[in-house]
Amino acid sequence: MLIVPENSERLENSVFAILSSANRENLPVLYPGPCDLLDTTSPTWFKFLIDLSLVIPTILAEGWVHAWPTYCDIPDHFKERWFLQLARTNTWDRRHHLTVWRNFNLVARSLFRCQMRHLRWTWSEGCEKPTWMLTSVWLDLCHMFEESGPDNFGS
């Protein structure tokens, strides 16, 4: 499976409809950099926006409805739904749509991996499930951790 899913026309149309809706002038603006020469293949510009370091983990936590072992195992329609949440709380120039889509997925994968490692540590220490996680998902993760042996989750 791909880390960054293909950009579907349906997703692009939905994002563009959100980006062109009214009353978005006060939302944080995502942009790849001060000029067109910036390397937009790197998620660096995306990672260091403080608001996003809070927004993306929240989006992931709210959307964690299944015990996925890795970000690549998450079905594309979930990633698209999470990206639409990002579009509702931030804005960007439509020309940068593919860059934002790609970097959102790269950063989300990194954060998912960190969350999974923390969840595995929480389980191994015998701690309670996180308050934000559904009990059924936590139990599925615990079962997956028990079966896995060595730490190999969150890639």
Mean pLDDT of each 10-residue bin along the chain, 155 residues long: 79 95 87 52 53 79 89 93 92 87 87 92 92 93 84 51
CA angle, residues 38, 42, 46, in degrees to nearest 5: 90
| d(C-alpha 3, C-alpha 45), whole Å | 19
Q: Where in the chain are the domains?
A: 53-155
| d(C-alpha 7, C-alpha 80), whole Å | 9
Residue 123's pLDDT is what?
Answer: 93
The radius of gyration of the chain from alpha carbons, rounded to an integer in Å, stands at 17
Asked whether 59 and 82 are in contact (CB, 8 A), the reply is yes
Q: What are phi and psi of 89, to 5 degrees?
A: -110, -5
Query: What region does 126 belong to: left with phi over 0, alpha with psi -120 to 50, or beta?
Result: left
The number of residues making up the chain comes to: 155
Asked whether 11 and 102 are in contact (CB, 8 A), the reply is no
Residue 35's pLDDT is what?
Answer: 45
Q: Which residues contact 70 (CB under 8 A, 6 or more apart)?
A: 112, 113, 116, 153, 154, 155
